[in-house]
Amino acid sequence: MRLGFIGTGNITTAIVTGLCTCDPPAAATIWVSPRNKDKADALAARWSAVQVGDTNQAVVDRADMVFLAILPQQKEEILTNLHFRKEHVIIHLLAGTQVEEIRPLVKPADRIVRAIPLPCTAIHAGPVVVYPDRGEAVSQVCDLFNRLGTVITQAKEDHLETLAVITSLMAPYYALVEAVTAWGTAQGIDRKDVAAYTASMFGALSQIAESEAQGDIRSLVTESMTPGGLNELAMAVIDGHGGFSHILTAMDAVKRKQ
For ligand NAP, the binding residues (CB under 6 A) are 6-12, 33, 35-36, 39, 56, 69-72, 74, 78, 93-95, 116-119
Q: How far apart are CA 80 and CA 115, in angstroms?
A: 21
| Residue 83: closest CA among 100, 119, 108 | 108
Q: Which long-range contacts (CB under 8 A, 24 or more apart) does 83-86 make?
A: 83/57, 84/60, 84/108, 84/109, 85/109, 86/110
Nearer to ligand NAP, 43 or 70 (CB): 70
Q: How far apart are CA 101 and CA 114, in angstroms?
A: 12
- Least distance in angstroms from the C-beta of 256 to ligand NAP: 18
Nearer to ligand NAP, 173 or 244 (CB): 173
- Least distance in angstroms from the C-beta of 68 to ligand NAP: 8
- Least distance in angstroms from the C-beta of 207 to ligand NAP: 22
- Least distance in angstroms from the C-beta of 123 to ligand NAP: 13
Nearer to ligand NAP, 27 or 66 (CB): 66
- Least distance in angstroms from the C-beta of 37 to ligand NAP: 7
69 in Cβ contact with 95 (< 8 Å): no
Nearer to ligand NAP, 10 or 206 (CB): 10
- Least distance in angstroms from the C-beta of 43 to ligand NAP: 11
Nearer to ligand NAP, 66 or 116 (CB): 116
Q: What is the DSSP letter of 88?
A: P
Residue nearest to ligand NAP (CB): 9
204 in Cβ contact with 211 (< 8 Å): no
Q: How many CB atoms lie within 10 A of CB 189?
A: 14
On the 0-12 / 13-18 / 19+ scale of CB atoms within 10 A, 53 is buried
Nearer to ligand NAP, 121 or 181 (CB): 121
- Least distance in angstroms from the C-beta of 25 to ligand NAP: 21
Q: How far apart are CA 64 and CA 159, in angstroms?
A: 28
Q: CB-based contacts of 166: which residues, under 8 Å, 6+ apart?
A: 251
On the 0-12 / 13-18 / 19+ scale of CB atoms within 10 A, 2 is middle
Nearer to ligand NAP, 71 or 238 (CB): 71
